[in-house]
């Protein structure tokens, strides 16, 4: 049997045995695959520019018009389904305009060219949001911001009630005037002159009294929420490194492959060294799910396994 007739697993076994002909065969297959993929990407990009989808309705239309069908299938199609639990065909094009805004293949290429010329990364408001490479980050994570908010509130005499949930918001002349909440199985009430809510919109609408109009409640009840589970994993050593055997520099690694449930890997060491103890590598495995689905219902041991 010749090398060209072997499958990739067999070739890799030969490569491990230091068979140079097998190594060359793997390289040739990889080169051919990348060449064909690149050709399809360029072809689809040209098609998207010459004959774009008119009247963009879905997120799929939006992505194909900006990146071509091949890049859409490679990076966006399966990952979007994994993150949001919905197909790009079932999401509005407005979703892309809000999240991606003006990002397209030209801005990505131009960004890459500038990186070759300038050593400093893109920072702040000068960059397309999706391409920002530098930003300020609290030493021990974003929770520090809320610790500071609490500290400032207490300094100014604000009462903070924790471990409680709001179950009723009283309205008078279309303004909130009281809030009731449950804490330790007892209901309490607070009078207010103004109310700022950060609770899920569905719960806010349900809490209003008098009730919101029927059509408003109907819309809010149909709102879908996506949940997020992160599994923290501590390693003493990582097998994958940068080219010069240095620790990887990425904050996030996005996993587009639909064959695995994980959506992203977060490398906490790269957010801030103050978030990690000792020389360990602290990895966050991120899973996107909906309340009640198979991932949501896994217990801690099953999730780690």
Is 287:261 a contact under the CB 8 Å cutoff? Answer: yes
> For 147-156, 201-210, 224-233, 274-283, which range has the lowest pLDDT when averaged over its residues?
274-283
Band of residue 272 on the pLDDT scale cut at 50, 70, 90: confident
Quote the CA–CA distance of 292 and 305 in Å, as a whole number.
20
Is 30:8 a contact under the CB 8 Å cutoff? Answer: no
Q: What is the DSSP letter of 123?
A: B
Return the pLDDT at 124. 47
Mean pLDDT of 165-170: 94
pLDDT of 190 > 70? The answer is yes
Q: How many CB atoms lie within 10 A of CB 206?
A: 18
Residue with token string 């000068």: 126
**pTM of the predicted model as reported, rounded to 2 decimal places:** 0.75
Mean pLDDT of 180-205: 93
Give the chain's largest Cα–Cα span: 84
Return the pLDDT at 137. 86
Return the pLDDT at 108. 66
* Structure confidence by residue, pLDDT tens digits, 231-246: 988 888 776 665 556 7
Return the pLDDT at 251. 86
209 versus 108: the higher-pLDDT residue is 209
Mean pLDDT of 148-160: 94
* Structure confidence by residue, pLDDT tens digits, 97-141: 887 766 666 766 666 666 666 655 554 445 555 556 677 889 988
* Structure confidence by residue, pLDDT tens digits, 29-82: 888 888 888 889 889 888 988 999 999 999 999 999 988 999 999 989 999 999
pLDDT of 144 > 70? The answer is yes
Q: What is the mean pLDDT of the chain?
A: 86
């Amino acid at each position: 049997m010749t090398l060209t007739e072997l499958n990739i697993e067999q070739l890799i076994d030969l490569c491990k045995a230091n068979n140079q002909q097998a190594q060359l065969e793997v390289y040739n297959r990889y080169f051919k695959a990348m060449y064909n993929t690149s050709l399809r990407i360029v072809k689809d990009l040209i098609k998207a520019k010459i004959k774009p989808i008119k009247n963009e309705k879905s997120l799929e239309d939006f992505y194909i018009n900006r990146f071509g069908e091949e890049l859409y299938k490679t990076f966006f199609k399966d990952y979007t389904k994994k993150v949001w639990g919905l197909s790009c065909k079932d999401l509005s094009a407005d979703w892309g305009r809000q999240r991606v805004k003006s990002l397209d293949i030209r801005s990505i290429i131009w960004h890459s060219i500038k990186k070759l010329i300038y050593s400093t990364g893109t920072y702040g408001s000068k960059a397309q949001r999706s391409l920002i490479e530098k930003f300020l980050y609290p030493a021990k994570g974003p929770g520090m911001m809320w610790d500071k908010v609490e500290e400032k509130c207490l300094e100014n005499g604000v009462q903070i009630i924790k471990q409680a949930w709001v179950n009723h918001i009283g309205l008078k002349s279309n303004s909130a005037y009281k809030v009731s909440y449950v804490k330790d199985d007892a209901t309490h009430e607070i009078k207010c002159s103004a109310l700022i809510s950060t609770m899920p919109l569905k719960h806010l609408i349900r809490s209003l009294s008098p009730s919101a109009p029927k059509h408003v409640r109907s819309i809010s009840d149909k709102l879908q929420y996506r949940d997020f589970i992160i599994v923290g994993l501590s390693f003493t050593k990582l097998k994958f490194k940068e080219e010069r055997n240095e620790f990887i520099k990425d904050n996030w690694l996005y996993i587009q492959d639909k064959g695995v449930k994980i959506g992203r890997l977060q490398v906490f060491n790269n957010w801030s060294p103050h978030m990690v103890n000792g020389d360990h590598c602290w990895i966050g495995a991120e899973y996107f799910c909906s309340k009640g689905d198979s991932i949501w219902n896994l217990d801690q041991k099953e999730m780690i396994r």
